[in-house]
Amino acid sequence: MVRIDGPSCPHRWPSAPSRSAVALNPGKDQPIETLVINGAECEPYITCDDLLMREQASDIIDGVRIMLHVIAAKKAVIGVEDNKPEAAQALRAAIESAAVGDRVEVAVIPTLYPSGGEKQLIRILTGKEVPSHGIPAQVGIVCQNVGTTAAVADAVLHGRPLIERLVTVTGRAVAEPRNYRVPIGALGETLIAASGGYRGEIAKLVSGGPMMGFRLETDAVPITKATNCLLALTTDESPDPGPALPCIRCGRCAEVCPANLLPQQLYWHARAKELDKVQDFNLFDCIECGCCAHVCPSHIPLVQYYRFAKTESWAREQEKRAADHARERHAAREARLERQERERKAKLRKKKEAVAGGAAASAKAGKAGRSAQGADADKQAAIEAARRRAAEKKATVAKTEQAAQPQGSDTAAASGLPPVDERKGAVLADDPAASRAGSGAGQQRAEPQGAGQPVAEGSAAEPSAAGEKPAAEQAAVGEEPAVERPAAEKPAADRHLARRETAVQE
């Protein structure tokens, strides 16, 4: 047992929604008025839908009710051809037992190929024309097959997925033609064997009906959900038409086309692989009914050309979509790379700006430091200059005093007085107190007591009590005279120098 609604369900919703899913989801802006059920199994030989309507009429009606609820349609019409009276009767009985009133009805239509086509059946039952390249929902109609309706009832009411279907095995080349309910995926050869195998000479094996079916090269093919018939035809049933002849433009194909197309124009353009032009002639409105090929006197396999053109157009459309997708991805990649490059450059610019700002700050700080050093150097230079000026001034004073020393001696000689040393010695000899005072304070002036004689002032002219030589004596022996600043001048110079140094330092 497997769950059908859980993750282990083998019948997942396909990646691309099925045609029935698309038809049953028209959208909120597309109101549906009528549900059309296709019971017009129009191709010869095929009887599986007829059997389904006779055997499972109640399931079909249940499926119709579910669909009416899903698409919110007002009513449903089941189209059944007049060659299936048992099916129509069974459906009416199921409608009465379901008590759905007049919401569901059975419409019997003439058996006329291809009245089972979707657009053709809608036109027959409702009189509405589905537009070219359009879908029935555009005219307020949803069309479904009776087999799909029964499958919906099985899935919704009985929890059975679509794993089997009815298949008709028929044709004169089959021993016992009959219908089978077979699982999807069963091999065709199994069904042929169940029907007693082949009988007589088989001309061709077809999947589907004689008008719209596909020729099979072998019966070892699986049954799909779209396989409604395996048809084994004899040579009498399907004679070889012979080689195709050129089109004579007789126009018979256009007369019988149920889609009101121009089959000969489609043929010319499809043969020339002019896919754009076949689109201009509404190739995709062709339902591949085969009527044109059936009546063609030149035996041209017209439907084969149309199928080829459709396949090529689909392939080209897929390539175009893939190219568009690749182009969008490339554009997105280019945009992403450009954005990353812009972001990288912006980051680099910010980093450079940050580095430049730091360098400017460092330069500013260095300039300030250099200014401070320059100020210190200026101060030092000013101090040195002040010292030099003080030394020069000191030297000038010394020169002046030195120059004044001989003048004092000459004055004493001219006055007839003894030299100062002699007089001082005499005074010291007469006055011991003065001698003691002179030895204790050499800078004191030694005046003769009561002599009243003029004496040259200045300590430079007097011998120092501490044993210093006079300046003249020092000059005579070649020694540098020790310039002694006047007592009143020396503190003033020092104060002046101190003031200068203080001003420069400030």
Q: Which residues bind ligand SF4 (CB under 6 A)?
A: 247-253, 256-259, 261, 263-264, 267, 286-292, 296-298, 300, 302-303, 306
| DSSP string computed for 12-32 | PPPSS--HHHHHT---TTS--
Q: Which two tokens stand for residue 209?
A: 């009906």
- For tokens 């399907």, the residue is 238
The CB-of-255 to ligand SF4 minimum distance in angstroms stands at 9
Which amino acid would we find at residue 27? G
Which amino acid would we find at residue 410? D
CB nearer to ligand SF4: pick between 100 and 302: 302
Q: Which is nearest to 314 in space by CA: 338, 342, 351, 283?
A: 283
Q: Is 163 helix (H, G, I), strand (E, B) or coil?
A: coil
Q: Which is nearest to 32 in space by CA: 105, 135, 127?
A: 135
CB nearer to ligand SF4: pick between 66 and 256: 256
The CB-of-245 to ligand SF4 minimum distance in angstroms stands at 8
The CB-of-258 to ligand SF4 minimum distance in angstroms stands at 6
Cα 165 to Cα 148: distance, rounded to the nearest angstrom? 10
CB crowding 265-297: b at 16 or more within 10 Å, else e: bbbbbbeeeebebbeebebebbbbbbbbbebbe
Cα 189 to Cα 332: distance, rounded to the nearest angstrom? 52
Instruction: Using DSSP bridges, classify how beta strands 34-39 and 75-81 pair: parallel, antiparallel or unpaired.
Output: parallel
Please enumerate in sequence order all residues whose Cβ is within 8 A of that of 494, keeping only pairs 6 or more positions apart, or say none: none
The CB-of-69 to ligand SF4 minimum distance in angstroms stands at 34
The CB-of-22 to ligand SF4 minimum distance in angstroms stands at 22
The CB-of-85 to ligand SF4 minimum distance in angstroms stands at 28
The CB-of-249 to ligand SF4 minimum distance in angstroms stands at 5
In order of 46, 239, 243, the CA distances from 20 in angstroms are: 22, 37, 39
Q: Is 416 helix (H, G, I), strand (E, B) or coil?
A: coil
Q: Which is nearest to 493 in space by CA: 370, 398, 379?
A: 398
The CB-of-282 to ligand SF4 minimum distance in angstroms stands at 9
The CB-of-241 to ligand SF4 minimum distance in angstroms stands at 12
Residues recorded for the chain: 506
CA 375 distance to own-chain centroid: 62
CB nearer to ligand SF4: pick between 113 and 180: 113
Q: Mark out the alpha helices in 272-301 (DSSP H runs).
A: 275-280, 291-295
Cα 285 to Cα 268: distance, rounded to the nearest angstrom? 17
The CB-of-224 to ligand SF4 minimum distance in angstroms stands at 22
Q: Cis omega before residue 454 (within 30°)? A: no
Cα 44 to Cα 278: distance, rounded to the nearest angstrom? 30
Q: Which two tokens stand for residue 203?
A: 């001309």
Q: Is 334 helix (H, G, I), strand (E, B) or coil?
A: helix
The CB-of-305 to ligand SF4 minimum distance in angstroms stands at 10
Q: Which is nearest to 77 in space by CA: 62, 64, 87, 94?
A: 64
Do 103 and 76 contact (CB within 8 A), yes or no?
Answer: yes
Other C-beta atoms closer than 10 Å to the C-beta of 359 total 10
CB nearer to ligand SF4: pick between 45 and 306: 306
